[in-house]
Amino acid sequence: MTLAVASSVTNGLARLAEPWAHLYADSKTVATIVTFGHVASLLMAGGLAVATDRATLRALRLAAAERGRHLEELAGVHRLVVGGLSLSVITGVLLFASDVETFVGSWIFWLKMALICVLLANGFIMTRAEGALRADAGENAPSWTRLRRSALVSVGLWYAITLAGVALVNVA
């Protein structure tokens, strides 16, 4: 994409978002509600994900026969995490639209979006490992290692994305 095209796309987006950007800038109530929604989505999705990742790492210290109950709990948590992530995308787009020019030009914003893509891919790898373990949960099943690795990566990513989010407010 040439620079000229990128800047005309940015201008088009900024024009489209202008009425929202004005409302967001003029109303502390609107800004508070949207930012609260964004941080609340992190509390819900990130909090659940990190707590479940810790439980996964603890469950892996048990004998394979005792890990079944954790696999069931893990399956139930994904829906809530995806729900929280969806809320972070909706509120994230509203935050982005509040100042398009600043965020389009921010490397921190694009780094954060890239980290979120890796988080989603890691979540997919985790659900695949769970699926394989439902078929074979033997002590030496290779998916136990994949599950452990994806839990560790998940914890790291949630903190890295949160750091990028806070940096966006203070550095972008």
CA distance 108 to 114: 10
39 is a contact residue toward ligand HEM (CB under 6 A): yes
CA distance 51 to 35: 23
38 is a contact residue toward ligand HEM (CB under 6 A): yes
162 is a contact residue toward ligand HEM (CB under 6 A): yes
Question: Are 55 and 67 within 8 A, CB to CB?
Answer: no
39 or 57: whose CB is closer to ligand HEM? 39
Contact mark string toward ligand HEM, 81..120, x via CB under 6 A:
----x--xx--xx-xx------x------------x----
Question: Pick from 35, 37, 80, 125: which binds ligand HEM (CB under 6 A)?
Answer: 35
Question: Are 141 and 82 within 8 A, CB to CB?
Answer: no
123 is a contact residue toward ligand HEM (CB under 6 A): no
The type of residue at 80 is L
CA distance 52 to 6: 40
| Neighbour count for residue 55 (Cβ, 10 Å) | 15
Q: How far is the CB of 140 from ligand HEM (least distance, A)?
A: 34
108 or 133: whose CB is closer to ligand HEM? 108
**Residues constituting the chain:** 172
- Rg for the chain, CA atoms, rounded: 20
Binding positions for ligand HEM, rule: CB under 6 A: 35, 38-39, 42, 46, 85, 88-89, 92-93, 95-96, 103, 116, 161-162, 165-166, 168-169
